[in-house]
């Protein structure tokens, strides 16, 4: 079986995307879906240390390079004959899965430390 992944339209290097890694899960306060919801504010100190403020928590992290970069692949649903790629592929074989390589991720911002709650007098209106 061959699972094919290709850059769309013969591009060269895929764009670089970013990754933020958090311990645990982000939960939504309300019952509605996460779409569009605010997560938090990301700052960097002048020394380059990342700081993330999520709700009443502050997280300290670090930027690291991924030992093995990640490819972000998007599954393609269109298996039209026109979409059959070059690469001398015979037309009698429909590949099982085709993916586009959407992006490459080489670094991540890892927040491993336990979130510290922000204790403050929070005014009613933020």
Count of other CB atoms within 10 angstroms of residue 59: 21
Return d(Cα 80, Cα 77) in angstroms, integer: 9
Instruction: Identify the residue among 68, 78, 80, 82 touching another protein (CB under 8 A).
Output: 68
- Tell me which residues in 71-110 interact with another protein (CB under 8 A): 71-75, 85, 87, 89-90, 92-93, 95-96, 99, 101-105, 107-109
17 within 8 A of 74, measured Cβ to Cβ: no
Nearer to another protein, 21 or 79 (CB): 21
Helix (H) or strand (E) segment spanning residue 72 = strand 62-75
Instruction: Identify the residue among 29, 46, 78, 82 touching another protein (CB under 8 A).
Output: 46
The sheet carrying 50-54 orders its strands as 50-54, 57-60, 116-117
Closest CB 98 distance from another protein, rounded Å: 9
Closest CB 94 distance from another protein, rounded Å: 8
Instruction: Tell me the three state secondary structure of residue 9.
Output: helix
Instruction: Kindly write out the interface string for residues 8-37 of this chain, putting x where it contacts another protein by CB under 8 A and - elsewhere.
Output: --xxxxxx-xxxxxxxxxx------xxxxx
């Amino acid at each position: 079986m061959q699972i094919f992944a290709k850059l769309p339209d013969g591009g060269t290097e895929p764009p670089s995307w970013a990754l933020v890694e958090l311990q645990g899960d982000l939960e939504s306060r309300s019952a509605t879906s996460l779409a569009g919801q605010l997560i938090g504010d990301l700052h960097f100190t002048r020394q380059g240390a990342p700081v993330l403020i999520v709700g009443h928590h502050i997280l300290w992290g670090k930027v690291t390079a991924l030992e093995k970069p990640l490819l972000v692949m998007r599954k393609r649903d269109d298996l039209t004959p026109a979409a059959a790629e070059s690469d001398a592929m015979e037309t009698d074989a429909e590949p099982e899965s085709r993916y586009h390589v959407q992006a490459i991720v080489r670094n991540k911002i890892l927040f491993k430390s336990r979130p510290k709650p922000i204790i403050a007098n929070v005014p009613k209106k933020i």
